[in-house]
Amino acid sequence: MSRLFGTDSAKGVAVAELSCELALHAGRAAAAVFSKGTGKKSKIIVAKDKKMPSDVLEAAVCAGVCSSGADVETLGAIPLSAAACLVSEHNADAGIMISAAHGGQEASGIRIFTPEGLRPDRETEEEIERLTLGGAAAFGGRGQGEIGRMLHCDTTVEEYVSRMEELSRLRLDGIRIAVSGEESAAGIPGVKLFRRLGAQVLEVREEGEPDTTGVERLMEFVTKFACDCGIALDGDGGGCLAVDEKGELMEGDDLLAVFARDLKSRGKLRHDSIVIPVTGGLSLRKFAAENGISTVSSGAGDRYVLDRMREGGYNLGGEKSGRIIFTDDLPCEDGLLCGMRLLEIMKSSGEPMSSLSGVIEKLPQVLINVRIAPGKKEIWKNDAEVTGLIREHQVSLGNEGRIVVRESGSLEPFICIIAEGKSFGQVNAIAVDIAGKIKERCGFGRKSRKQHG
């Protein structure tokens, strides 16, 4: 796996691991790679999310682009997919989206788009990474005496909202929506779009500790103010979760089930299939099988879902986090498009959102991460005690459950154990048992566990 790009983008903590110096070299490298052979003055667009560290990283990236001799056009705080779409519309050679950490809760990222709004291929990423990590010396004398201009566009939010309005299938008059996205790059565009489509929109203001999506506050808000639905948009605008009128949460798997059933009923689900990561829930897989829909597995991470969709010509895919991809509409995940499509389905059905939120039967799931020693990567796969224990537990679950064990992380590798089945007690015991054995055989450090009843 790439040291910089991983499954999503260049990652690290803003100003610390993902330093301003590294951001500068990443901007310079992207400009150098994408301006090759163009025969014209190159231009790179740069967008960001609304978190404070993004301002610092934006300045560093722009300095790097300009030092390479290319012009840079800043688009301000806009959603991830807006940056992808506007590369070609602004006649740019590439786009860069900055997603920064806030309060140390998540990793910062620098995501690069091709002129078509797609993620670069592996060869291009490797070249950008080589130049970035090589520092100033990797560029030789390039850029000396060649300084690009700083440009700025302040109409990008309106451009994005107009694009979303063009993609809408029907108006949302009569729907009362709560939107949680004050700290999301999609927050302002989302409120504008839903109001323009006729919905009554109530904005959920964040208070207290920062929360990327504000889901818990949204759940309370929806019931308190009698909303038909709540929409939660994540930091870079790429993901969306929803809340029905009873305050019940709809995660990515719920949304994918709703979208897959709707597209299939209209004959628009390509190959009658959806693409989900290998870690995708058993509940969704069972729902798909019962409704004549195939599930195609990809590696874990947004990039692998999209890669698999493009390879097989599929038009719907996504993750439990709510990052849903509609390739017929946009080249990458978009939380606002996801929310709009969900509201359209509710509107056209004439039923409350709760009639959609319960389409899949939720099965208990337990996830445990075990950190392993870097020198013991991949060893667990050939350890008879580990593999034997996994097989034994899978037999005990039979067809009513499953176990997924996979390695992740490049600098600090860990093993992710997921156990799913009908009994929470059983899958919890299985996950703990396997995690303990892996830790005993090739791990060290703490375990972290997430439980979904």
Chain centre to alpha carbon of residue 123: 22
Please give the average per-residue pLDDT across 59-88, as a whole number: 92
Backbone angles phi, psi at 14, to 5 degrees: -50, 130
pLDDT at res. 169: 92
pLDDT at res. 448: 42
Low-confidence winner among 223-237, 321-335, 354-368, 402-416 (lowest mean pLDDT): 402-416
Which of 42-51, 124-133, 239-248, 372-381 is the most confident on average?
Answer: 239-248
pLDDT at res. 5: 62
Task: State percent of the chain over pLDDT 70.
Answer: 85
CATH class of the 365-452 domain in this structure = alpha beta
> From CA 393, how far away is CA 380, in angstroms rounded?
16
Greater pLDDT, 106 or 123: 123
Please give the average per-residue pLDDT across 344-353, as a whole number: 94
> From CA 315, how far away is CA 305, in angstroms rounded?
11
Greater pLDDT, 143 or 273: 273
What residue spans in the chain does CATH classification 3.40.120.10 cover?
10-154, 159-357
pLDDT tops 80 at residue 445 = no
Q: What is the pLDDT of residues 23-67, one digit of tens each?
A: 898 899 999 898 865 556 789 999 998 887 788 889 999 999 999
Pairing of strands 249-250, 94-99: unpaired
CATH code assigned to 159-357: 3.40.120.10
Average pLDDT score, the chain:
85
pLDDT tops 70 at residue 11 = no
Task: State percent of the chain over pLDDT 90.
Answer: 46
pLDDT tops 50 at residue 13 = no
What residue spans in the chain does CATH classification 3.30.70.100 cover?
365-452
Please give the average per-residue pLDDT across 126-144, as a whole number: 70
Q: How confident is the model at residue 176 (pLDDT cuts 50, 70, 90)?
A: very high
pLDDT tops 90 at residue 6 = no
pLDDT at res. 446: 41
Please give the average per-residue pLDDT across 413-432, as a whole number: 88
Q: How confident is the model at residue 444 (pLDDT cuts 50, 70, 90)?
A: low
Place of tokens 């004398």: 141
Give the C-alpha distances (Å, rounded to integers) separating 332 from 147, 157, 304, 339: 32, 18, 12, 15
> From CA 125, how far away is CA 128, in angstroms rounded?
5
Q: How confident is the model at residue 314 (pLDDT cuts 50, 70, 90)?
A: very high
CATH code assigned to 10-154: 3.40.120.10
pLDDT tops 70 at residue 430 = yes
